[in-house]
Structure 1
Amino acid sequence: MITNVRRRVGAAVVDGFFNGAARLAKLHPKSKPSHHGVEHVADVAYVPGSSAREHLLDVWRPLPDRQGEGPWPIVFYVHGGGFRILSKDTHWVMGLGFARRGFIVFSISYRLAPSHRFPAAIDDVCAAFAWMTANAARYGGDTSRVVLAGESAGANLVTSLAIALAYEREEPFARRAFATGVVPRAVVPACGVFQVSDLQRLKRRKPKMSPFIADRLHEVEQAYLGPGPWPHGLDLADPVVFFERGEEPARPIPPFFLPVGTKDPLLPDTRRLSEALDVLGVPNETRYYPGELHAFHAFVMRESARQCWRDTFSFLDRYVSPSPSPKGSSADPTPSGAGTSPR
């Protein structure tokens, strides 16, 4: 009884904090997209016939007079929040940050657990990706230069999407993504939970884990997976387990950039994913940020977060050939003073 109350209160605190922080940060004068040479197109439906807010995406694109004419390389961004909370609206800084560096960003919402359990979220991600590939050109996007990016639960989802794009699978939604024929140039899954099943493994590894963190991990697994059944298994909920099997892909697996803080309770998942990609011969770069917690890079006013963004763009410069930075902009990729985008 006490444990259940503690978990509910903890979940409400997390949700309220990140939603409030995102709204407050948006009031800062420097949060205005045009200040950074960016245009924001909100609430574009990606599922025909659906009126659900979960089936909307935002487009963040460079202004031609500030960043030159497109087509621009694409970042397909999927927000985190333990599969249970948050949305594209809480993660506006991510869209602004990438667009400011010459990418066009398609930042999506998706159905949340526990009302919509696995595989609803990855189903929506695949649907949004298929919509994006069919419509990117009219927004100025170049589908030959696509980056998949997300953090936390979003990192799980873009890694699972990378599997759906590289392997011919049985799930109808995965087949829809594979049928686009798009091979991403890079994947940037930050501080990811790459195996949702048996999240207690992290507490077994670290018995002194705080009850607050242990509760959040319990909520993620129970809400997202539930009791099943899972007709096609859990490959696309546990992408690191899939990669550890070492199956040969039908198409190339793109390079991965894996940023994570050394005090992130999910750190072991990033290490496992890097090791699995090494075995498969997939180029990958893992960056560890000393002393940093989960999703630290979202708090863009902090120097460690700015360094993470700089490292991310340095990696993407090698694999994606992005458009030129905004005229007159500094080398710093983040919207200075614009606040935070939550995990």
Structure 2
Amino acid sequence: MRRMIKILGGIVLVLLLAGGALLLAIRNNGPAVLDAVDRIAGGKRDVVLVEKARYGDAAKQKVRVYRQGKAGEPIPVFLFVHGGSWRWGDPDDYGFVARAMAPEGYLVVLAAYRLGESGRYPAMLEDTAAAIAWTRANAARLGGDPDRIVLAGHSAGAYNVVQVALEPKWLAARGVPEASIRGVVGLAGPYDFFPFDSDSTKASFGSVGAGAESQPVNHSRAGAPPMLLVHGEEDTLVKPRNTRALAAALEAKGAKVETLFYPDADHNAPLIWLAAPWRDRRDVAARISRFAREATAVSVPVQAGKP
């Protein structure tokens, strides 16, 4: 019996160490590792890549479109923009986001944007708006509804989607009607970080004359699309006060905003929890899906003479 207990204890210890090493690898090496783990642990979930396209001449001006099954009735669009401190990131490493959301009934678009020197403010916003415009122009062809788009992003990507949704000029420049953006999901996003004091913000904003107008918190307005803002309380890279500040500013204007704070979560946790095997253990994916479903619900008009 003692021998059996020792063996079982050893197995448990190995599994715990392996699990810890896996999480460390994900946190250190990022989305590509997470994507591989998701494919192994969760499978493809019948989600397929249906389009690879570019919306500009630069290598990073690209989108990847995923769907579950064949195109039928137009479904809502979930457009996700990656993070990476505006210095790195590639939508090809974020297939796990598509495998989380496409089975919930969305056409999923993973969008990139110029990075580093060529992606300095306001280029990342111009590119995000251009990716949204491409999506709206091509959604119907790929099975999506161009007037039911939910934007989402993690970290720097959350900044991008929130800023273009709140400051009307970016989408207007691309001919995208505000009404087509039905909701916005921000995961661990920086929304109130001026004056710039980190290496990433100085590199992306500090030398191009950007000031307070570059901050989402300063563009809160009553007509903003509904927002779901998710943050980990243990996030030391992008402090949760960013989400609190933006939520308070939106609420003060009468805009619709929902927040989710997780006491045991760091900066990458909300993103990690979108992938298998963590997807079913945490409620982030379910909460995002519920928010997006409510935001894109089609109102059925009441016919004359009908109750």
TM-score normalised to the size of structure 2?
Answer: 0.79
Equivalent in the alignment of 2:253: 280
Residue identity matched to 2:91: K
The partner residue of 2:93 within 90, 95, 102 is 90
Residue identity matched to 2:164: L
The 1:31/1:54 distance shift into structure 2, 3 A limit, reads farther
Contact 1:53 1:109 in 2 (8 A): no
Cα separation, 1, equivalents of 2:195 and 2:205: 10
Cα separation, 2, equivalents of 1:305 and 1:123: 37
Cα separation, 2, equivalents of 1:264 and 1:121: 23
Per-residue deviation, residues 90-125 of structure 1 (Å, max 9, x unmatched) = 222112211121100111111002343111111111
Cα separation, 2, equivalents of 1:106 and 1:303: 19
The 1:15/1:306 distance shift into structure 2, 3 A limit, reads closer
Cα separation, 2, equivalents of 1:269 and 1:278: 14
The partner residue of 2:216 within 220, 229, 239 is 239
**Alignment pair present for 1:56 and 2:29:** no
Q: Please list every run of 5 or more consecutive structure 1 residues that lacks an aligned counterpart in the other structure.
A: 1-12, 201-217, 323-343
* TM superposition shift of 1:234: 5.0
* TM superposition shift of 1:253: 1.3
Cα separation, 1, equivalents of 2:280 and 2:295: 23
In the alignment of these two chains, the number of paired residues is 268
Equivalent in the alignment of 1:333: none
Residue identity matched to 1:17: N
Equivalent in the alignment of 2:33: 21
Task: Provide the secondary structure at the position in 2 that maps to 1:306.
Answer: coil
Equivalent in the alignment of 2:139: 136
* TM superposition shift of 1:31: 3.9
Cα separation, 2, equivalents of 1:302 and 1:263: 18
Q: Which has the larger radius of gyration?
A: 2
Equivalent in the alignment of 1:263: 234
Contact 2:82 2:89 in 1 (8 A): yes
**Alignment pair present for 1:307 and 2:257:** no
Cα separation, 1, equivalents of 2:86 and 2:194: 13
Cα separation, 2, equivalents of 1:303 and 1:106: 19
Contact 2:32 2:94 in 1 (8 A): no
TM-score normalised to the size of structure 1?
Answer: 0.71
Task: Provide the secondary structure at the position in 1 that maps to 2:157.
Answer: helix
* TM superposition shift of 1:224: 0.8
The 1:305/1:175 distance shift into structure 2, 3 A limit, reads farther
Residue identity matched to 2:218: V
Q: Please list every run of 5 or more consecutive structure 2 residues that lacks an aligned counterpart in the other structure.
A: 1-24, 299-307
Matches within 5 A, 1:209-248: 218-230=198-210, 235=213, 237-243=214-220
Comparing 99-108 with 311-320, greater Cα deviation is found at 311-320
Matches within 5 A, 1:64-213: 64=70, 69-164=72-167, 167=168, 169=169, 173-177=170-174, 179-183=175-179, 184-200=181-197
Cα separation, 2, equivalents of 1:17 and 1:284: 32
The 1:304/1:234 distance shift into structure 2, 3 A limit, reads farther
Cα separation, 2, equivalents of 1:295 and 1:15: 7
* TM superposition shift of 1:42: 4.7
* TM superposition shift of 1:140: 0.9
State the structure with bigger RCO (CA 8 A, min sep 6), 1 or 2: 1
The 1:153/1:239 distance shift into structure 2, 3 A limit, reads same
Per-residue deviation, residues 285-336 of structure 1 (Å, max 9, x unmatched) = 11111211113122233368731111222222322239xxxxxxxxxxxxxx
Cα separation, 1, equivalents of 2:291 and 2:35: 30
